[in-house]
Amino acid sequence: MTASDEQTVVVAHSYGGIVTAEAAAGVDAVCHLLFVSSYLPEAGQSLSSFGGEEPAPFLDVDPERGTFTVRPEALAETFLQDCDPETQRRAMDKTARQSLAVLGQPVQSAAWRHVPSTYLVCADDRGTRPNCNASSPVAQPASRNSTPATTHSSPSPPRSVTWSSGCDGG
């Protein structure tokens, strides 16, 4: 994105909201951010800022190894509920453990504070904790759209997408 001055819309989903909050900051080519059932951190927050005392029920956390992953029995019902069994099986084969460090790494910037943004709520999303971003301005009713689509880490296409405006404001 930094190598071009072509106007760019960045789409972030789930944990991608954490990454995008920092990665899109100060990039002139980014003209709009679209958050799809994403976490929206303020500067200084991390993914762990959005959880309670306990990890999400679909996670398998191994503190001794310092890793986590999605529990195998929860993957399909949480993230792939609209996919066929073969797609669910292939996804399970690609699931890997991740470092717990990603849960606590705070972002240094909140690009959505400075870049026009839209937050798309997927009403059937089962993985992003409910109301995790209810207080952020971009998720308030004036810029908040809702659809029955699941789209949470799903390789199947979304059933519908709501878009508020393009880069040119139209």
User: By percentage, how much of the chain surpasses pLDDT 90?
Assistant: 28
Could you tell me the pTM of the whole model? 0.71
Which pLDDT belongs to residue 124?
A: 77
| pLDDT tier, 132 (very low <50, low <70, confident <90, very high otherwise) | low
**Structure-model confidence comparison of residues 21 and 86, the more confident one:** 86
Tell me the domains of the chain and their CATH numbers: 8-147 (3.40.50.1820)
Q: d(Cα 43, Cα 83) in Å, to the nearest integer?
A: 35
Closest CA to 137 of 115, 161, 112, 120: 112
Average pLDDT of the chain is: 76
For the cut 60, the answer to whether the pLDDT of residue 139 exceeds it is no
Any idea what the Cα angle at residue 27 is, between residues 3 and 147, rounded to 5°? Answer: 110
Q: d(Cα 63, Cα 58) in Å, to the nearest integer?
A: 16
Per DSSP, the three-state class of 71 is coil
| Pairing, β 117-122 against β 144-147 | parallel
Which pLDDT belongs to residue 61?
A: 94
